Structure 1
Amino acid sequence: MPFSDLDYRVAQPPPALAELVESYWLLLNHSDSEQRVTLVPDGRPDVLFSDSATEPYHVALVGLDSQPSTQIIPPKCRMLAVSWKLLAVEYILPIRIADLLHTGRYLPADYLGITAEDFSDFDGFCAKISAQIMHLLPLELDARKRKLFNLLYASNGALAVEELATAAAWSSRQINRYFQQMFGLPLKAYSNILRFRASFQHLKAGKLFPEQNFADQAHFIREVKKYAGVVPKELARNQDDRFIQFAALPPPIVLC
């Protein structure tokens, strides 16, 4: 599947939503054929707005993954999406995602006011959905949870559960119960996914050794194989662009 058949754009949310929204993105399949891709865990629940030559417009909430999966992008598919940070699950999304591990659920077609007409204007979609999310923001977010998630994302999952608990003034037992009830997996498992995702840029730059606090090379290889189904060298090669999240990364910056 040549990535040239797909058009992919990504945009960052406004600063006021940075604790809740990871990114907005657009995916278009220009081909008359379906495209088979491999998705790997990236630690982001998504709301997808899409239609295609074979499917009418619909909206779906997709939960977290902890293993790779093969997905089909239909012919002439148009997809707009919001990738969320976990704090949004409690404060913005209409349902918890604990029951959506490795799966998803349809949402009302008018969710967040997005329609099929928004496919033609990605910048307009970003502005429109940002305004809708701002309208849903509560007056105050739990300070412990804000601290926890800010540290979790800033460290790319490298901090131990005990360190996060101490910094957030929240017991590790309570945190793990919260993660299981809200997201469907323990904090340690989620941290491992973030650490795996953070290795993408290093792999794309051709660095096949761990740079994200893995114990050693063998540990790094095991973790990549667990989440991608292949060893680091094969993920870095990304033959036929089948790992779409990896193919969509910007090229690494080369410092002179």
Structure 2
Amino acid sequence: MIGDQNKIIVSPKQPYFVMATSRYYKAVVMDYGISHFYSFNNDVIGNEVIAVPDGCIDMLFCCDDKQPYANICGTVLQPRIVNNKRSYFFGIRFMPGLSFNFNHVAMSDFVENQIPFLEVIKNKELFDTITTSRDFNNQIQAFLKMYIPLYQQSQAEDKNRNLKQFLLKKISATAGQIKVSELAETAGYSVRTINKVFSREFGLPPKIFCKLIRFQHLLSNLNNFDKNIFDANLAQLSIELGYYDQSHMIRDFYELTNTTPGKYVHSLKEIEYNKRLIVI
């Protein structure tokens, strides 16, 4: 049976956000249902802000002097351009299924969708505070002041809290290589219950969610390649991540990024990705 789960290891990545800027600032939280905060200027000509599947929800604020806006963005299922506006952006990436509940909006409504922030969270004061600032730390503190009481209330009312944490931890620990029947058996629930919880709390069927988590693990591995990537590296990686073979892994990666693992790693090195990513 499940108990209180701690240290959930999920580190959702959006590498094309980093590629669209000369400096991408990231403040890791891994608490309160938040993965991290981030900010960047979309200042690299020719590089659009493209989202790839991650199973998460983001709040993205465009802090433009003339036309500020903010959206709550659900996970995409295929790569998609989310912005090409030249401006300063502030964002919050939530842990899958672990943020506070959005009133009157189901998690499935966010999938492949962007809903205006003020339609869901009717807090014009917070919107104005964040979109008129360029101070990353002040934006974080302003958001947390509003968010933490809502999160704590939501957690106190969430009957599925421990189950969601358990499922997320189990899926992450196996890099998405787990069947729904195994999740159900380990958690002590029926397959029907697991499917129902996923649809309501994550907005996705568990099989698709596991695919996205495996993809995110693949991204993490590719981001850590220090040397030139060879077929031997990819073959070994495909085995470790539970793909049928190397070709299967490449097909999945292409479906979710519109590029191949080899070309992706090359692009990371070409733009000096790690120098653009600043973790604070």
| TM-score relative to the length of structure 2 | 0.73
Asked whether the equivalents of residues 68 and 228 of structure 1 are also in contact (C-alpha less than 8 Å), the reply is: yes
Could you tell me which residue of structure 1 aligns to residue 197 of structure 2? 178
- How has the CA–CA distance of structure 1 residues 162 and 118 changed in structure 2, closer, same or farther, with 3 Å as cutoff? farther
Q: Distance in 1 between matches of 2:110 and 2:253?
A: 23
Q: Which moved more, 1:219-228 or 1:113-122?
A: 113-122
State yes or no: 1:10 paired with 2:20: no
Asked whether the equivalents of residues 177 and 214 of structure 2 are also in contact (C-alpha less than 8 Å), the reply is: yes
How far did residue 97 of structure 1 move?
A: 2.8
Asked whether the equivalents of residues 35 and 95 of structure 2 are also in contact (C-alpha less than 8 Å), the reply is: yes
State yes or no: 1:59 paired with 2:59: no
Could you tell me which residue of structure 1 aligns to residue 247 of structure 2? 218
Structure 1 residues without counterparts, runs of 5 or longer: 252-256
Amino acid at match of 1:144: L
Structure 2 residues without counterparts, runs of 5 or longer: 1-15
Give me the identity figure in percent.
21
Q: Distance in 1 between matches of 2:157 and 2:234?
A: 43
Aligned residues: 242
- How has the CA–CA distance of structure 1 residues 154 and 35 changed in structure 2, closer, same or farther, with 3 Å as cutoff? same
- Given the alignment, which residue of 134, 138, 146 partners 2:148? 134
Matched ranges for 1:96-175 at <5 A: 96-108=106-118, 110=123, 113-114=126-127, 115-116=129-130, 119-136=133-150, 137-138=152-153, 139=156, 141=158, 142=160, 143-175=162-194
- Given the alignment, which residue of 72, 87, 110 partners 2:83? 72
SS at match of 1:83: strand
Could you tell me which residue of structure 1 aligns to residue 6 of structure 2? none
Q: Distance in 1 between matches of 2:276 and 2:75?
A: 19
- How has the CA–CA distance of structure 1 residues 38 and 144 changed in structure 2, closer, same or farther, with 3 Å as cutoff? closer
- Given the alignment, which residue of 37, 40, 49 partners 2:52? 40
| TM-score relative to the length of structure 1 | 0.79
- CA shift digits 1:77-101 (9 cap, x unpaired): 1111111123235x33332231232
SS at match of 1:70: strand
RMSD: 3.3
SS at match of 2:24: strand
Q: Which moved more, 1:199-208 or 1:33-42?
A: 33-42
Q: Which moved more, 1:117-126 or 1:169-178?
A: 117-126
